[in-house]
Chain A
Amino acid sequence: MLKITREEIIDGKFERVLNFFRSRSMWMLYYCTGCGAVELPPTMTSRYDMERFGIGPMATPRQADILLVTGYVSVKTLKRIVYSYEQMPEPKWVVGFGSCPVNGGIYWNSYATINHLDKYIPVDISIPGCMPRPQAVIDGLIGLMDMIGRGEAVGYKKYQLNNEWYKKNQREILERAKPVLGGTK
C-alpha cells in the first residue's frame, strides 16, 4: 500500500495528483459587488448548470476555493474583499469577472471605484465582457480548472511572496492620510 507522508505532500511530490482533484471539486464564493451577479443564476441553475463541472456555490469564505469578484469594486468593497480573501484557506483562486476588475470598465474615471483589482489581490484569471454571458463564465472557469491542473494558478503563492507589495497598495487606498488632489473640505 502506498503511504503518503505529510512531508511529501508539502514538498510538492504529489502536487500533480492533488491538483487533479482540486480542479474537479471547487466551491465558489461569489462576491456580488456589481451588476455581474445577474449572470450567475443562469450559470448555476439548470440551463447552463456549472455543477456538472464540479463547481458549486458556497456561502462562507472559510469553506470556499474560488473568490468570484463580479463587477466593479468600490473602495469600501475592496476592504471587504481583502477580508474575505484572507479568510479563505489555501489553496485559493480569484476570478475577476467582467471588465471592471480588469481596468475599471465604464467606471474607470469614477472617484469611488478602483481600477485594477490585481494590484490589491492576485487575480488568477479574468473573464472579460460587459457582462460576460454564462457561456463565457463557464469557459473562464474551465480555463481556471486547466490552469490548476497544470499547476499554473498560483495566485495565493504570489500573495504570500509579494505580501508587502499587495499590502502597500491596499494601504495606499484604504488608509490614505493626505488628500490626493490637494485641498481639504
Chain B
Amino acid sequence: MTNRDMAKVIAKGWPDAESIPRYQNQIEIVCGNPDSIAGLLHYLQSVGFDHMSNLTCVDWLEENRFDVTYNLWSYKYDLQATVKAGIDRDEPEIPTAMDVWPQAQAYEQEIHEMFGVEFIGNPDLSPLFLHNWKDIPPLRKDFDTEAYSVKAFGAVRNKE
C-alpha cells in the first residue's frame, strides 16, 4: 500500500482529519478537532500505524498556535504518518494519548515542561529535566534564552 492509497483510506474512515500524501512513504494528517485526537490516534492504530516513534510540539508564534505532532510508523506497510493537532497558544490543552500508547506519558511530561501544554488525563506532569524552573517554559518562541543566560549566569557576548 502506498501513501496515496493510505491517505484515501484515512479520508474515508476519518473525514474530520485532512490527510495529505507527502514524499515517498510519508503522510501528513492534520487533525481537525484536537479534542478528538485520542480517537483519531486509535483509528490510525487500527488501520496499521502500530508504533508511535515520537511526540513533539511546534510553536507557531505569529499564528498563536501550538502544533502537537505525533510521528507514527506502520511496520506493516512501511509508512510514516505525521499527525498534527493545532491548539490555542493561550490555553494549550489537549487530551492525552496514553490510552492508545502508554509510552506517550514521558513525552507528554517533557512537552508540558518545555512548552507548557496541558495533557488532560496524564497523571504525572511533574518537572522532568529542568531544575527549579520558575520562568515561562523555555522552548516557547517568546522565551529569550540569551537574555535569560545574561541575567541568570552572567553570560557575556563576544565583541565582533
Contacts and interface: CB of A to CB of B under 8 A. Distances in A.
Are A and B physically bound partners?
Answer: yes
Interface of A: 75-76, 79, 103-104, 108-116, 119, 173-185
Contacts of B136: 179, 181, 183-185
B149 interface: yes
Nearest to A77: B131
Interface in B109-160: 116, 129-132, 134-138, 143-157
Nearest to B146: A109
Given A108-B149, A174-B132, A185 B156 contact: no
Given A110-B145, A111-B148, 18 more contacts: A76-B129, A109-B145, A109-B150, A110-B149, A111-B143, A111-B152, A112-B129, A113-B153, A115-B149, A116-B153, A119-B154, A174-B132, A176-B132, A176-B152, A180-B152, A181-B143, A184-B136, A185-B136
B89 to A, nearest CB: 14
27 contacts: A75-B131, A75-B132, A76-B131, A104-B155, A108-B156, A108-B157, A109-B149, A110-B149, A111-B138, A111-B145, A111-B148, A112-B138, A113-B153, A116-B153, A173-B152, A173-B153, A174-B131, A177-B134, A178-B134, A179-B134, A180-B135, A181-B144, A181-B147, A181-B148, A183-B135, A184-B135, A184-B136
Contact of B134 (A75, A113, A114, A184): A184
Contacts of A108: 149, 155-157
A111 B131 contact: no
Nearest to A78: B131
Interface of B: 116, 129-132, 134-138, 143-157
Contacts of A183: 135-136
Dominant SS among interface residues on chain A: loop
A180 B151 CA distance: 7
A75 B152 CA distance: 11
Contacts of A110: 145, 149
Nearest to A104: B155
Contacts of B155: 104, 108-109, 115
Contacts of B157: 108-109
B132 A180 contact: no
A107 B60 CA distance: 25
B125 to A, nearest CB: 11
Given A109-B145, A109-B146, A185 B153 contact: no
